[in-house]
Amino acid sequence: MLPAVKSAPAAAVVTAILALAGCGNGRSADEASFERASRAIEDLEDALAARDYGRICDAIFSPEGRRRAGGEECRRRLARTSGGVRDPQLELVSVRREGNAAITRVRAWSEGERPAIDVVRLVPGRGGYRIESLSGQ
């Protein structure tokens, strides 16, 4: 069901608390992974809301993610499957590091739809995480 994430205010709160405490650069690897994952999911949500399928296929998906989403047909497939989605919402539920990658659970919903949990595999790329795969639970 994935097209739907915002609500990662916890990452912003943690960052603010660390900055106020003077420990901003002493982030743990888990905190850094959560922030990077949160950014990737927010980017996906924003691009879905804007129907910016080119950005999703070219910048948010990893090369493997784009291949799985149809390769050269990625934009058209996303437009066909997500075009009717109104007000997509994505909420990062959890992040588990797996080597350099992160496995996230994301609650996804849109207007008129019930929330569903999707598992999103993120891999390093372009200074953050990129989406390699999406799957519903």
Local confidence band at 5 (pLDDT 50, 70, 90 cut-offs): very low
16: domain CATH number is: 3.10.450.100
In this predicted structure, which of 21-25, 41-45, 78-82, 113-117 has the lowest mean pLDDT?
21-25
Question: Is the model's pLDDT at 1 over the cut of 70?
Answer: no
Query: pTM here?
Result: 0.77
Containing structural domain, residue 74: 5-136
Task: Give the pLDDT score at 22.
Answer: 36
Question: Would you list the DSSP string of the chain?
Answer: ----EE--HHHHHHHHHHHHTT-TT---HHHHHHHHHHHHHHHHHHHHHTT-HHHIIIIIB-HHHHHHTTGGGHHHHHHHHHTT--S-EEEEEEEEEETTEEEEEEEEE-TTS--EEEEEEEEEETTEEEEEEEEE-
What confidence tens digit (pLDDT) does each residue in 74-127 have? 999 999 998 889 999 999 999 999 999 999 999 999 999 999 999 999 999 988
Token digits of residue 128: 């953050």
* Structural domains in the chain (count): 1
